[in-house]
Amino acid sequence: MLSQLSVSGKFSAMRKGIAVSPGVAIGKAFVIHEIFVNPDTKRLEDNEVTAELAKYETARDRADADLQALYRKVERQVGRDEASVFLVHRSILRDAAFTNKIRGWVVNDRMTASASLHRLLGEYTTLLTRTNDEYLKERLNDIRDVVVRLTAHMSEVIQPNQNVLDGPLIVVADELLPSQAVALGDVDVHGIITQSGSQTSHAAIIARSRGIPAVSGLRGILRLVKTGDTIVVDGQHGHVEINPNSEELAAFRKLEREFFDLKDQLAENRDLPANTVDGTELRLQANINSAADATAASAMGASGVGLYRTEYLYLTHPDVPDEEEQYKTYCEVIKECPNQHITIRTLDIGGDKTVPYLGHNHQEANPFMGWRSIRLSFEHPEFFNTQIRAVLRAASEFPDGTVRLMFPMVTTIEEMRRLRSFMKRAKKELGERGKVVRDMPIGMMLEVPAAAISIELMLDLVDFVSIGSNDLVQYLMAADRDNPKVSHLCQPLAPSVLRVLHSVIQACDKSGKPVTVCGEMAGQPKSFVLLLGMGLRRFSMSPAFIPSIKELAASITIDEAEQIVKSVMKLKTLSQIKKFMTRQIQQIAPQLAMLDTD
């Protein structure tokens, strides 16, 4: 790490993190939730105190109104127990001691209300982390939620002040939450850097889906960067420069231009078929979260949508979306999606993605190994059924064969049977309402090693398989996909991972069940070539990767890809495989080297 004072007198530094989305971007830092790291130090003037108190009261009333509405809707649609978390939040918000402390610091210490909230959170954190009482420890999360809600109402955290920040922005965050990413949709974001996270965490996936250079796993970055600093993001090598000097800046500007030129050039491929040199036809589909992503997928030349992550609808919805809202959203997404061919995935909540009304009260030591995806859906049958009904209804508005439905995290045969009976029940319920819906292909996401090992036994129960390699890799390697400390292990090119993938692809081929890889590796040059050589013909990836993967496919024959797999299977370590594959990509498609992350 280099650090010095630049000519402008600003602190300058270079940091190394994990390269998660390729390309070079330069812009002004916009630090999200800066208050939690760099609290507001402004001291109020005497004549500002009353206005500051009024601002706090307004924020409190608005937060209270949110919570009341959330309670009512969640109680109606999910259940009273699940809704009770919002009552707890309301009681914290209205707690006299909580409010008096904030008022006291504003009036007596002339602190802003935001800084007072930060101080209060600090006090509670010190107090509650010392206790051995698990119940009290969990209340800390509730207090934090309330503070975040209040802060958001007071300072529109997500909206950068355009007077201060004109032009391209680099978002700096601990981890980018899905709701924040959506709110950033209208802002000119050129790069994303995060303190936690790694290749397959959600900030990385969001960045890639928009073709935005990103670096994650930058420990301590929030303490180093202030809103307004100049930031360079090198998403190919995982470097971040803070306030570079003018020579460095000029060099990076040249790289940034080359990156834009390459993207423009590749985008011209969008109408070409996805064929290898020997004419083998491939399906390059897109992973999407919304109708806007589906439009982007068409623009990038995707042949369909291989993964629609429906949880973003829940994560970004102010409360629980009901059947009608879901039905409408799914219809919109299907209408926008390329060639009207889409695979919808049911809710995958839990792990690193939580909504306050599902599983929020339930702190787990190992959330990724715990109550997530269909495990959670099974325990909320009404809620789960609502989603399946909405999908069935939406699919029936389009020609047969448009929609397939798949379930995340399937681990056992019993689960697959249960999922099939959920489908039957939803269809029957719709029939009772006079709505006739069609059957559709049902698939499993293969993300759990147990399912990979016993795939032959499960294939009878499914119409297709989609390999969720992001999760499969973390479970195979016992290395959390979001934890930068173990990102050296959570690697799709690890010899053991490649062996499992090969055997699953072969088992599906043998039984004639279509198989896709929809994890991030499908869109990365090195792993794409290996999957191709293993026999895979269907890939689903961030839309931004489709043009470069099309170009790569058009530069290689199946025979060459098979020979590469043979050579790689003889290599024993990840680093040997990475080096070998870097050389291969440089030979096959040197023009793409800039898009091949380290």
Residues known to be catalytic: 202, 518
CB of 228 to Mg ion, least distance (A): 37
Binding mask 462-491 for Mg ion (x = CB under 5 A): ------x--x--------------------
CB of 281 to Mg ion, least distance (A): 27
Across 61-198, where does the E strand assignment appear? 169-173, 189-194
CB of 78 to ligand PEP, least distance (A): 22
What is the amino acid identity at position 481?
R
Q: Which partner from the list Mg ion, ligand PEP, none does 309 bind, CB cut-off 5 to 8 Å by kind?
A: ligand PEP
Positive or negative CA dihedral for 390, 391, 396, 399?
positive
CB of 452 to ligand PEP, least distance (A): 13
| Nearest CA-CA partner of 467 in 282, 343, 366, 370 | 343
CB of 382 to ligand PEP, least distance (A): 24
Burial class (CB in 10 A: 0-12, 13-18, 19+), 466: buried
Distance between CA atoms of residues 336 and 330, nearest Å: 10
By beta-carbon proximity to ligand PEP, the closer residue of 200 and 236 is: 200
Which of 23, 238, 356, 468 is the binder for ligand PEP (CB under 6 A)? 468
Which of 77, 469, 487, 597 is the binder for ligand PEP (CB under 6 A)? 469
Q: Which residue has the tokens 């959170």?
A: 121
Q: Which residue has the tokens 């990836």?
A: 541
CB of 576 to Mg ion, least distance (A): 28
Distance between CA atoms of residues 24 and 260, nearest Å: 9
Which one of 61-69, 216-224, 242-250, 469-477 is the stretch in contact with ligand PEP (CB under 6 A)? 469-477
Q: What is the dihedral of CA 288, 293, 297, 303, to 10 degrees?
A: 40
By beta-carbon proximity to ligand PEP, the closer residue of 70 and 521 is: 521
Which of 195, 346, 470, 491 is the binder for ligand PEP (CB under 6 A)? 470
**Subset of residues 31 to 70 that bind Mg ion, contact rule: CB under 5 A:** none
Q: Which partner from the list ligand PEP, Mg ion, none does 518 bind, CB cut-off 5 to 8 Å by kind?
A: ligand PEP
Indicate the angle between helix axes 323-336 and 381-395, nearest 10 degrees. Answer: 40
Q: What is the dihedral of CA 540, 545, 548, 552, to 10 degrees?
A: -30
Which of 22, 191, 321, 519 is the binder for ligand PEP (CB under 6 A)? 519
Which one of 132-140, 376-384, 411-419, 465-473 is the stretch in contact with ligand PEP (CB under 6 A)? 465-473
**Subset of residues 300 to 329 that bind ligand PEP, contact rule: CB under 6 A:** 307, 309
- Eight-class DSSP state of 186: G
By beta-carbon proximity to Mg ion, the closer residue of 77 and 542 is: 542
What is the CB neighbour count within 10 angstroms for residue 382? Answer: 9
Adjacent-strand bridge partners of 280: none
Positive or negative CA dihedral for 417, 288, 203, 123?
negative
Q: What is the DSSP string of 426-491?
A: HHHHHHHTT-------EEEEE-SHHHHHTHHHHGGG-SEEEE-HHHHHHHHHT--TT-GGGTTTS-
Number of residues lying near ligand PEP (CB under 6 A):
11
Q: Which partner from the list ligand PEP, Mg ion, none does 542 bind, CB cut-off 5 to 8 Å by kind?
A: none
Residue 109: which residues within 8 A CB-CB, separation 6 or more?
A: 116
By beta-carbon proximity to Mg ion, the closer residue of 266 and 518 is: 518
Q: How far apart are the first and last CA of the chain?
A: 18
- Eight-class DSSP state of 175: S
Which of 66, 447, 551, 596 is the binder for ligand PEP (CB under 6 A)? 447
Residue 443 in the binding site for Mg ion (CB under 5 A) = no
Binding mask 244-283 for ligand PEP (x = CB under 6 A): ----------------------------------------
**Subset of residues 243 to 302 that bind Mg ion, contact rule: CB under 5 A:** none
Which one of 48-56, 320-328, 395-403, 463-471 is the stretch in contact with ligand PEP (CB under 6 A)? 463-471
Which of 256, 348, 415, 596 is the binder for ligand PEP (CB under 6 A)? 348
Distance between CA atoms of residues 265 and 259, nearest Å: 10
**Subset of residues 168 to 227 that bind ligand PEP, contact rule: CB under 6 A:** 200
Distance between CA atoms of residues 302 and 304, nearest Å: 5
Tell me how far the alpha carbon of residue 382 is from its chain's centroid: 26
Which of 471, 480, 482, 560 is the binder for ligand PEP (CB under 6 A)? 471
By beta-carbon proximity to Mg ion, the closer residue of 233 and 452 is: 452
Distances (CA, A) of 431 to 389, 435, 577: 10, 5, 54
CB of 345 to ligand PEP, least distance (A): 8
CB of 540 to ligand PEP, least distance (A): 8
Distance between CA atoms of residues 423 and 439, nearest Å: 9
Which of 146, 518, 530, 534 is the binder for ligand PEP (CB under 6 A)? 518
Q: Which partner from the list Mg ion, ligand PEP, none does 290 bind, CB cut-off 5 to 8 Å by kind?
A: none
Across 94-213, where does the E strand assignment appear? 169-173, 189-194
**Backbone phi, psi, residue 76, to 5°:** -70, -40
Adjacent-strand bridge partners of 192: 171, 214
Q: Which partner from the list Mg ion, ligand PEP, none does 555 bind, CB cut-off 5 to 8 Å by kind?
A: none
By beta-carbon proximity to ligand PEP, the closer residue of 118 and 202 is: 202
Binding mask 197-226 for Mg ion (x = CB under 5 A): ------------------------------
Binding-site ranges for Mg ion (CB under 5 A): 447, 468, 471
Binding-site ranges for ligand PEP (CB under 6 A): 200, 307, 309, 348, 447, 468-471, 518-519
